[in-house]
Amino acid sequence: MRVLITGGAGYIGSHIVRDLLDTRDYEILVVDTLEKGSEKNIFSGTKFIKGDIGEDSVLESCFEKPVDAVFHFAAWKGAGESMDFPEKYSLNNLNGTMKLITKMVEKGTKNFIFSSSAAVYGAPVTLPMDEDHPKNPENYYGFTKLMIEENLKWYGKLKGLRFAALRYFNASGYHPEGKVLGLEKTPANLMPIIMETAVGVRQSFQIFGDDYETPDGTCIRDYIHVSDLASAHILSLDYLQKKNESLIVNLGSENGSSVKEMTDLSEKIIGKKLNYTIGPRRAGDPAKLTASSGKARELLNWKPKFSTTEEIVRSTWEVYKKEFNL
């Protein structure tokens, strides 16, 4: 079996590549621009193409030999950034992905595993959110994910494409045994921002608001360990092949943790006080977001193993310590 992993040197993609290498005997082809991904995440045993799948020549070389399945991570993921630069997101997340699935159809590749997001739901109407929750994305990034999901449904009906759209909640943590060491460049999420503060890359960070209607006033999110995301991707491919049916599922831990709790726990595990201030609320942040992941548990027989906040902070800190020789 030959699989293509776009964005395979990036934060989430590299964890899937690592686990595929460790558990499956597949031929693995990775394509990545390395704009956000890291050279450290190009593992031996894979074939690597440096380039953008939006470029015809790059896409063509990805499909030079027959590909059985595509895991697609090559996209921008900054919710805030997508509101300032929607063109950037339409070019990559929409056009790039449409080119990719159109090429798959042309070449007869049937299985597509798509990195979707809880951002497709927008503000919560009910909690925890299940897959039937209304979809009203509040940022352009979430809109691009929803549009691709809709296109996948059409390509499924019209072209026989089988897809798994995996709606991640807050992806976090690093490989539990330290097998993925490449850090994301210019990260914008809470955990890496805390870590960058701990190692001195940043002077301090802000907690965006402590006047929400939550027990400690800071926002609550569902942090899901990246290695649990990785196992769900591999199980999804098995599902597509066995059942010959497409699938849309949430991937979350079903536990909510506040920004303050994540900060306090990080201070405890790192063993020092972090420099932070309480800032204003960030636009578009709901007070609480938690997943219902019952569908993934049931259909994929998926069980998150690493998604405790302790393991998320511990595994992330280990990688930052190594990178900064601490």
Residues designated as active site: 141
- C-alpha to C-alpha distance for 6 and 50, rounded to whole angstroms: 10
Least distance in angstroms from the C-beta of 240 to ligand UFG: 23
CB of 6 vs ligand UFG, minimal distance in Å: 17
By C-beta, is 118 or 232 nearer to ligand UFG? Answer: 118
Least distance in Å: CB of 79 to ligand UFG? 6
Task: State which residue, 117 or 236, has the beta carbon closest to ligand UFG.
Answer: 117
Question: CB of residue 124 vs ligand UFG: minimum separation in angstroms?
Answer: 10
Enter the tokens of residue 320: 């930052």
Nearer to ligand UFG, 98 or 278 (CB): 278
Q: How far is the CB of 137 from ligand UFG (least distance, A)?
A: 9
What is the CA 237 to chain-centroid distance, rounded?
16
SS (H, E, C) 182-226: CCCCCCCCHHHHHHHHHHCCCCCEEEECCCCCCCCCCCEECEEEH
Tell me the backbone φ, ψ of residue 143, rounded to 5 degrees. -60, -40
Nearest to 23 by CA among 312, 230, 306: 230
**Which residues contact ligand UFG (rule: CB under 6 A)?**
77, 79, 117-119, 169-170, 189-190, 193, 205-208, 219, 221, 259, 282, 285, 289
For residues 21 and 127, which CB has a smaller minimum distance to ligand UFG in the complex? 127
Whether 116 and 165 have beta carbons less than 8 Å apart is answered as: yes
Nearest to ligand UFG of 137, 182 (CB atom):
137
Phi/psi for 311 (5° steps) reads -70, -35
Closest CA to 151 of 100, 196, 194, 77: 100
